[in-house]
Structure 1
């Protein structure tokens, strides 16, 4: 058996209640460092054993405090200047593009894969993805990887 750990990105709405509560407790303890773990878990009706079981294994995507590199896939229309508008938005949000790959267009559609250093971006990752989705010609944006 391998000791190598696997990581997954998973939507919050499919998480068990105990993991959601663990995230709330962790957030509360970050906001109120003087609060005891006992009081924090009691506030969210979570057992201390559940908290200790999950506390070091679950981290919100938007909660990384160190350098974070994000890889995303954009499904877009093959419009002149679209990639430029995407890069302008990333630069305006203080993102640093590390790699870009744009596929050849098929039926006036193409995909763009971008990896960027998002450490300086003030928006949450979800906020950045939402901003990119709002660009005219961007049909779908998907987070496909992230360093933690």
Structure 2
């Protein structure tokens, strides 16, 4: 079995992981051709920064108590801002056959729907390491919905 240590910084922390804010850190102008250097999720007054370790072409998750200066200067709101207020449920590491962590999947839930007795599943956010930075996809349908 392949194992990944990507979640070591947040493992065994018993707290609700509600997304308070979300930023993309980009290389270039947001209105032009640009690459996403990192995705930052603000959760419980901490900043989960998802980046690529270019030495290994592997996805990394680091937790900070304040934003790094570069992130402050290059961050901007984006089409993922609709994820504010959602909770992260199960997280999966995407590990290749050589044992490198190529990406992660975050199961997202809207627990305000519980009151209406609707399934709280919202979507799956998949984040993958690429040579130019991180790529992401938000899907509300597909095989990942069966992981709920």
User: What's the TM-score once normalised by structure 1's chain length?
Assistant: 0.24
**More helix per residue: 1 or 2?**
1
* Structure number with bigger Rg: 1
- Which of structures 1 and 2 has the larger relative contact order (alpha carbons within 8 angstroms, sep 6+)? 1
**More strand per residue: 1 or 2?**
2
